[in-house]
Amino acid sequence: MKNFLSIDLGNTNPHFGHFIDGELKNVYPISKTEIVPASFSYAISNVTKQEIPPFLESGKSIDISIAKKNNMFLDMNVNYASNLGQDRLFQAYYLYKNFVSNKNSGILIDAGTFITIDLISKDGFMGGYILPGIQNYIETFKKGANLPTSITNDFDHLSDEIPHNTNDALSAGIQHLYFSILNSLLKSNDKAKVVFTGSQYSPLLKILKRHFNVEFIENIDLIHQSLFYISSEFIAKNKVLNQRGTL
């Protein structure tokens, strides 16, 4: 694939990655259509079922979503209901193929408008959690007439001591929520590799660094790399099937 576009239609800020000869060159907002090459193929992660951008009509679609059959996605078991979001599924598959082994599981934390924390093991996608994104969580406190309107989200302090003022009480409540889920997953998967992605993962990474001795990886472009990886595998598999006359 000379030119490949990875289309991420997420909850906010839809964007696309441009791959040239297998290398991600840049990521652009979906409105940046002037840089789109004349000839390209593309794959989409469409979480919110948005309308497909018109500029894609001139490209060749690789519909990787059809690789989901019942409780399987390609060769990965999916232990989750059929309403699993495409972004979670595609990124989980990338981890399953590139980071997970018989000895090591993977924990995928995608922090944006919402935060998903998913477990991927040698047995496939094992499920996970969905929480409000940190900024969304903070915004809910504005509904309280007497609560502070500015709450820190830097997560520089997480203490076992009970808070003694409202700002600390709000911040500690948020932190302990996320901490408890990470703690639960890491207790039963102590050799897991933790992969962070999304636009708002930095505060969660601070919690992990301070309180857990685990291997972690930061990859803000994971959805784009996942779309390219799966598309390449999907094309290769279908070429083999075509050669066998079974597709």
Rounded to 10 deg, the angle between the 86-98 and 222-244 helix axes is 80
**Count of structural domains, the chain:** 2
Has residue 153 been placed in a domain? yes
Same domain for 124 and 151, yes or no, is yes
Average pLDDT, the chain: 87
Same domain for 88 and 136, yes or no, is yes
Q: Which residues contact 75 (CB under 8 A, 6 or more apart)?
A: none
Percentage of residues of the chain with pLDDT beyond 90 = 57
Largest CA distance in the chain: 71
Same domain for 58 and 80, yes or no, is no
pLDDT tens for each residue of 125-169: 999 999 988 888 877 777 766 666 566 666 666 677 888 887 788
Same domain for 24 and 86, yes or no, is no
Integer distance in angstroms from the first to the last C-alpha of the chain? Answer: 21
Q: Give me Rg for the CA atoms of the chain.
A: 20
pLDDT tens for each residue of 10-40: 877 899 999 999 999 999 999 999 999 999 9
**CATH number of residue 79's parent domain:** 3.30.420.40
Q: Which residues contact 68 (CB under 8 A, 6 or more apart)?
A: 78, 89
* Domain span at 15: 3-62
Task: Record the pTM.
Answer: 0.89
Same domain for 77 and 100, yes or no, is yes
Same domain for 160 and 182, yes or no, is yes
